[in-house]
Amino acid sequence: MPRFLHTADWQMGRTYSRFETEDGAALVEARFEAIEKLARLANEHQCQAVLVAGDVFDAQTVSDRTIRRVFNATRAFPGPWVMLPGNHDAALAESVWTRAQRLGAVPDNVHLALEPGVIELAAEGLAILNAPLTQRHTYGDLTEAFGRYETPAGLVRVGLAHGSVQGLLAGEIDSTNPIAPDRAQASKLDYLALGDWHGTKEINERTWYSGTPEPERFRNNEAGNALIVDISGPGELPQVQVVATGRYQWHQWRETLSVDSDLDQLLERLQNLPESSVVDLRLDGLITLAGEEKLQHGLSVAEARFRSIRCERSNLQLAPTDDDIAALKADGYVGDVIETLREQQAGEQGEVARDALAILASMLKTPAQEAGQ
C-alpha cells in the first residue's frame, strides 16, 4: 500500500527584512529545520516517497549555499523525493534547478520534475504525473495533459502540480496557473498533490493543498502542516492525515480599545500565547495614561517571550482622565499643554501629538510620584 508525504511551498531563500535582524535569521533557519522535520516524519510514518508540489525555492537567485543546504536537509530520508518547479522557481532554460545540477548538489534519490511527464517509482507502487511550471505565469491548465499520460497497471496515479484551482479558492488568489477543479476525476488520478495555496486545504477527497510546512505570513489559512497520504491501490480513495510541522505560530490582531477591560483582555490573550509566537498587533481607539503604562509593560514582557512582536499604535489616542491629570499634578500652563495635545491627536499631526503627550506624561510622572512619597 503506497504511503507518501505531500508538502509544498518551502520558499527557501525567503528573507524577512521587516523583522529585526535576529528574528529574521531565526525565521529563515526555521525553514531549513522544517525540511529536516519532513524527512524525519517520512521515516517515522514509513513513507515510500516525499512529493514537493512546487516553490521549493523562493526565487531563482537564491545563493549557492541555500541550494546546498536545502538538499542536505533532505538526506535523513533515503527514499525518493520528487520536486516540482513552481511559479517562484519555474523550470526556465537557466534556473535555480540547472544551477543545483551544475553544483552537484542534487542527491541521487531526489528526482527533479523539470519536464512534463511521468516519473515511475515502481518499487514504491507510484506513478507521479508532473506538470512543472516552465514560466512564472501560465494561462492554460497544464494538468490537462494528465489525461493523456499512460501509466503501468498496478501503480497508483498521483498528479503533482502547482497553481490555482479555479473557482474554489479565496477571491484574491492569483488567477494565473489555473487547474480544473475536477482534474483528479477527469484524468483518473488517485490523488492530486497541489502547491501554491500556502494553507492546508481539501479541494475534494482526491485533491489537496498541503500548505507550507513553516508559516511565513500572517494570513490565517491553516499553514504549518504536511500531509501523510495512504492509498491502498489504484482506484481506491486516499486516506489523508494532516501532521503539524510548523515551529512558529503567526498571529495578526486588530483591536479597538474603549474601556479598561478591553486592555486587560488583550494583555491576557497575549500572555496565553506560546513563546513560539510571531505577533503583529494594530491598536486603535482610546487609552488612558494609566492604561498606556500598563500596555507598555505588557509589550515589554511580550518582547522578551515571543519570537517577535510588532505593535502599531498610531491610531490609538491617549485620553487622560481627570485622575490621570491629578496624579501628574499638571495644572496651569502644563495642564493647558496636555489639553492641547489631547485635542491635536485628531488632526494631521495626531501621531506626533500622541507621542508628545506620552513623553510629557512620563516626564511628569516621576517627580509627581516622588512628591507623594
The answer on 270 and 238 residing in a single domain is no
DSSP state at residue 146: G
Residues 303, 327 within the same domain: yes
Which amino acid does the sequence have at 226?
A: A
Nearest Cα residue to 55 out of 146, 138, 159, 132: 132
Structural domain of 145 = 3-244
pLDDT of residue 322: 62
Rounded-to-integer distance, Cα 217 and Cα 197, Å: 12
Q: Are both 212 and 281 inside the same structural domain?
A: no
Amino acid present at 363: M
User: What pTM was estimated for this model as a whole?
Assistant: 0.86
Q: 244, 273, 293: which is the final residue of a domain?
A: 244
Are 199 and 261 contained in the same domain? no
Do 224 and 341 reside in the same domain of the chain? no
Q: What is the pLDDT of residue 141?
A: 95
> 505588557: which residue's cell?
298
Is 133 found in the same domain as 36? yes
Instruction: State the residue for C-alpha cell 507598555.
Output: 296
- The DSSP result for 217-277, as a single string, is SS--S--SEEEEEE--STTPPPEEEEEE--S-EEEEEEEEE-SHHHHHHHHHHHHHS-TTE
Task: Using DSSP, state whether 170 is helix, strand or coil.
Answer: coil
Res 176: pLDDT:
86
Per DSSP bridges, beta strands 191-195 and 178-179 are unpaired
Do 221 and 300 lie in one domain? The reply is no
Whether 339 and 277 share a structural domain: yes
Q: In the prediction, which pLDDT does 53 show?
A: 98
Radius of gyration, alpha carbons of the chain: 27
- 231 and 321 share one domain: no
Predicted confidence at residue 332, as pLDDT, reads 61
Residues 238 and 298 occupy one common structural domain:
no
Question: Within the chain, which residues score under 70 in pLDDT?
Answer: 170-175, 322, 324-336, 338-339, 342, 346, 354, 357-373
CATH of the domain at 31: 3.60.21.10
209, 354: one domain: no
Question: Which among 77, 184, 83 is positioned nearest to 132, based on CA atoms?
Answer: 83
Q: Which helix (H) or strand (E) holds 308?
A: strand 308-318
- 252 close to 220: Cβ distance less than 8 angstroms: yes
107 plus 8 within the same structural domain: yes
Number of folded domains in the chain?
A: 2
State the alpha helices, DSSP H only, in 45-186.
64-73, 96-103, 183-186
pLDDT of 290:
83
